[in-house]
Amino acid sequence: MATVHDFSARAIDGKECALADFKGKALLIVNVASKCGFTPQYKGLESLQRKYADRGFAVLGFPCDQFGHQEPGNEQEIRNFCSLNYDVTFPMFAKVEVNGSGAHPLYEHLKTSAKGILGTEGIKWNFTKFLIDREGRVVKRYAPNDKPESLEQDIEALL
């Protein structure tokens, strides 16, 4: 059975990153966008990163432009936006598709491992979140409107 650690993705700086590098850490994987109504969640995501990083936790941000063209920028623009507006320190990746025939293999795995409302697999909007345990198993899926701070109890349980 595959785990998140079996996948790799291109980091926002263009380098390929094996998610196996995160073995032993609990993760929160989020498809993000800079022009979304949920964009202010970057603040909460960064807060989680800073609060729990030293206990073996990381947020992983995957920019996505599949919903209302809310992530139109290139990787450099996205990185600058996150740094200047939210002082993001958590790992960010290159833009990905999360649905359809071009969906990143990681997202195919996430969607089949933790289905959404009424058993649907498709990602409905940006800021859908997946909580991953230290062994790379998908524990839970959260809706875009679930605020990062509301996940603290679930994160604590994995640490």
Tokens of 127: 């800021």
pLDDT tens for residues 118-134? 677 889 999 999 999 99
> For the CA atoms of the chain, what is the radius of gyration?
14
pLDDT, mean of residues 82-110: 95
Query: Higher-confidence residue: 122 or 54?
Result: 54
pLDDT value at residue 118: 66
Dihedral sign, Cα of residue 143, residue 149, residue 153, residue 155 = positive
Rounded to whole angstroms, the Cα distance separating 108 from 6 reads 13
Rounded to whole angstroms, the Cα distance separating 16 from 25 reads 19
What percent of the chain has pLDDT above 90?
90
pLDDT tops 90 at residue 71: yes
pLDDT value at residue 76: 94
Mean pLDDT (the chain) is 94
Task: Catalytic residue, from 17, 36, 64, 82: name it.
Answer: 36
Please say whether the beta carbons of 20 and 5 come within 8 A. yes
pLDDT, mean of residues 84-91: 95
What percent of the chain has pLDDT above 70?
98
Domains of the chain: 4-158 (3.40.30.10)
Buried b / exposed e along 110-133 (16+ C-beta atoms within 10 A): bbebbeeeeeeeebebbbbbbbbb
Residue 1's pLDDT band (boundaries 50, 70, 90)? confident
36 tagged catalytic = yes
Could you tell me where the beta strands, DSSP code E, fall in 2-153? Answer: 8-10, 16-18, 26-32, 57-63, 129-132, 138-142
Query: Higher-confidence residue: 52 or 117?
Result: 52
Query: Which residues have C-beta within 8 Å of that of residue 155, sequence separation ≥ 6?
Result: 26, 28, 48, 52, 57, 131
Rounded to whole angstroms, the Cα distance separating 64 from 15 reads 18
pLDDT value at residue 120: 74
**pTM flag (> 0.85):** yes
